Structure 1
Amino acid sequence: MLDDLDAVAAAPEHHTVLFEDDRVRVLETIIRPGEQTAVHTHVWSGVLYVIGWSPCVRYDEHGAVMMDSVRDGVSPAPGTAGAAAPLPPHSLRNVGTQDIHVILTEFKTA
């Protein structure tokens, strides 16, 4: 059972379930320029497919910077995919001028 910090429960304006069964959940995430998600988690590992990207900053639940895409050299090209680890409580702010648009396929595990 997922808690109140699950991405879909805590930040529904940015996370939409496209498909879900007992093994996987597919989320679409769209964060427009200047927007910041509510604090949420991703408890399962998975695969992230990038449709659109923009510079962003990830904060922990206390507001400390966990990742700054410009500082850390994170700039995945649209059309690329990569492994996605579970994430503890965090929020993400789009500090660029384009939408962040990704599809996350999460693999449900015990």
Structure 2
Amino acid sequence: MGIQDIIEGKKQWRAHMARVKALPPDYQIVYKEMQRYLFKVGPIDLPDGRLLPGIVDFFEEGVAAGKGVLELIGHDVAAFCDDLVKDSRTYADVYQESISGKPGTDESADRQNQTG
């Protein structure tokens, strides 16, 4: 990753956050909670993916339709987030694979080398 990539990434992130700040306060609060939750448990491709911008798109449509944020996502923010990432590979999956020694992990390769 070169310096230009870093600069471009920061520009995109600032533009993204400007869109978030343009949302009504209740939407901003829920977005920040979703973002915090997804950064803890979310998919591996979260920083490079379309999930966070897609949430902002969804929220902007909700604002335009005159709906409250809880009308869109329900009262359980974590459950809504879990549903969004249910088919994505998460950091928790990677960790589970590493401690279980499933094929393709370093630990299983070490075991095979010791027995083979």
**TM-score past 0.5 threshold:** no
What TM-score, normalized by structure 1, do the two folds share?
0.25
User: More helix by proportion, 1 or 2?
Assistant: 2
Higher RCO (CA < 8 A, seq sep 6+): 1
Larger Rg: 2
What TM-score, normalized by structure 2, do the two folds share?
0.25
